[in-house]
Amino acid sequence: MTEIQIKNEKFYISAIIDLFNREVIAFEISSSPNQELIKATVEVARKKDN
């Protein structure tokens, strides 16, 4: 998870990257760093696999 700040607001990026070719498989952005952000990222990646 990565935290970025834009104009006094913090955002959190959760990404899943393929370690073989460094391709971003899935990512999600949220205003809170919580478990739901991670779950949403994993769900996007799982849906892409099909």
Identify whether the C-beta of residue 37 lies closer than 8 Å to the C-beta of residue 1: yes
User: Could you give the CA distance from residue 47 to residue 50 in angstroms, rounded to a whole number?
Assistant: 6
Beta bridge partners of 11: 4
Given a cut of 70, whether residue 49 has pLDDT beyond it is no
* Burial (0-12, 13-18, 19+ Cβ within 10 Å), 14: buried
Domain around 26: 2-49
Number of independent structural domains in the chain:
1
Is the distance from CB of 41 to CB of 26 less than 8 angstroms? yes
Q: Are 35 and 12 in contact (CB under 8 A)?
A: no
pLDDT by residue (tens digit) across 5-33? 999 999 999 999 999 999 999 999 999 99
